[in-house]
Chain A
């Protein structure tokens, strides 16, 4: 039998079903790996070993009683942005370093109800603001493929954990690329669903019109398995969309013959590392060999997606993060002179540099005299970008391109230059602005570091993305490669 930690969720589910091993054995094996290896990666903020073993024992008992949920006994990790009742939920910030969530996020509740076993909470950029995991109060996460490199961000603890075989799946959130870019940089699969597809209830808000929860796995099939559980309407999230959830696994094996794949010219221009572009083009050729056709599509306003994002996201963040006031929960400054001093010092001490920068950018673009020029203008350009996608999807089923402009960069390389860091999300941000689903699938290596193929679909097109990803992964082995130090 193949080592448990190397198996995908689909393989582990079969092993549990056949009785090759129990969930307690599987969970203990993975917890032992985390205990032995995570000091190299710093992928966890909190390991919930005792709770995990209890949940595994419950899953084994449920199986013995013939009561098996869709993810019964299968280990997962939650990004530390999801509120987990009775467990520290930090969002990677000093502000919430003392916060024990009094309730569960809907995503946490749904995965637990399906029988999943939570190993712990993964490290992340502070309040999900970053593309390298370097803004975390708990220190950067390292990339299992090269410990000097970033695993991407903000869901870097989740991507590093899945790549290091700590768990077959980890939840993530994606506001501008925070699931897909770390997936690309670690050789894992990451899907960001349609805006409103997965409930945001209990997911600590960064930019509410862009935030969406998803999952990082090693195969598209596993992503389909987990997303099927996470997705669905939730009345506790006012932006949740009441739209039926298809059985993603039922159609994943169907052919992609006749699929129309759009290629955006701007996505292969000078900003893209040449070798990364070559791997992505080779991946698109594999998809063509399965019967798909490619068409060039034009997104005339896509070059403005990064500046649009860096108005809209900070504006929403400055509003969302106003709740951290040192009064009701979170960090509180000592010996405040008055209420204003309490607010300003609690926030000044509790937030890190990048979070302060984004809050201030947001406060500026929303302030009197600038609102029309920045915020309203950005929402107009955002509409133009969304309209461009809509036109493109009249002619194509998916849009394919690179996920990130290059393989993983060294920790420290971009940390002092916010604009360089922001440009890491140049290919992913468009999907968030337009509310579209998108997936990153491993498509090869450049100088021994993984790179990803990015597929964007129309609203509620998760099914076609997962199917296309799965069909590609049936032809390729990139996702099976395991970093040498974590085999």
Chain B
């Protein structure tokens, strides 16, 4: 196994995913296989190759810095699980 349980715990925390014990066991095995598989890339000679930034070599477009969005807050918040007075509610973060 190229990954151990501790590493998978760390990755799951980075990814903000809570896994069950069964999911951890399975993830150690399957993620290890995926990592072993992508390790083939180390064979390629990439000396001096600039990593691809865009498949068509296009540059990021710029636009004038003006407001283009309209206010749709109420409509967007119809999908929010918990809202009060236009604010999104989360569990208490400051005691």
Which of B7, B55, B60, B76 is in CB contact (< 8 Å) with A102?
Answer: B76
- Interface membership of A147, Cβ < 8 A: no
- Cα separation A209 to B19 with both chains bound (whole Å): 29
Beta-carbon contacts under 8 Å, B4-44 to A:
7-8, 11-19, 23, 26-27, 30-31, 33-35, 37-44
20 A–B contacts, CB within 8 A, in A order:
A100-B78, A102-B76, A209-B55, A301-B44, A304-B40, A322-B16, A327-B80, A328-B80, A329-B79, A337-B91, A338-B92, A340-B16, A344-B16, A344-B17, A360-B17, A361-B31, A379-B51, A380-B46, A418-B30, A435-B54
- Interface membership of B56, Cβ < 8 A: yes
A379: nearest residue on chain B (CB-CB)? Answer: B51
Beta-carbon contacts under 8 Å, A360-394 to B:
360-365, 367, 373-374, 376-384, 386
Which of A343, A353, A382 is in CB contact (< 8 Å) with B52?
Answer: A382
Instruction: Tell whether, in the assembled complex, residue B16 and residue A383 are in contact, meaning their CB atoms are under 8 Å apart.
Output: no
Instruction: Tell whether, in the assembled complex, residue A374 and residue B17 are in contact, meaning their CB atoms are under 8 Å apart.
Output: no
Q: Dominant SS at the A interface?
A: helix
Q: A148: which B residues are within 8 A, CB to CB?
A: none
A338: nearest residue on chain B (CB-CB)? Answer: B91
Q: CB-CB contacts of B38-76 with A at 8 A, as 1s and 0s?
A: 111111101001111111101011010000000010011
- Give me the interface of A with B, judged by CB distance under 8 Å: 98-100, 102-103, 194-196, 209, 235, 238-239, 241, 301, 304, 306-308, 310-311, 318, 322, 325-330, 332, 336-345, 347-349, 351, 353, 356-357, 359-365, 367, 373-374, 376-384, 386, 418-419, 422, 433-435, 459
Q: A351: which B residues are within 8 A, CB to CB?
A: 17
Instruction: Tell whether, in the assembled complex, residue B17 and residue A359 are in contact, meaning their CB atoms are under 8 Å apart.
Output: yes
Contact flag A347-B16 (CB < 8 Å), given A100-B78, A307-B37: yes
Q: B16: which A residues are within 8 A, CB to CB?
A: 322, 325, 340, 343-344, 347
Instruction: Tell whether, in the assembled complex, residue B54 and residue A209 are in contact, meaning their CB atoms are under 8 Å apart.
Output: yes
Contact flag A307-B14 (CB < 8 Å), given A382-B52, A435-B55: no
Which of A322, A339, A377 is in CB contact (< 8 Å) with B93?
Answer: A339
B47: nearest residue on chain A (CB-CB)? Answer: A380
Instruction: Tell whether, in the assembled complex, residue B34 and residue A363 are in contact, meaning their CB atoms are under 8 Å apart.
Output: no
Contact flag A356-B17 (CB < 8 Å), given A327-B81, A332-B82: yes
Which of B34, B76, B91 is in CB contact (< 8 Å) with A418?
Answer: B34
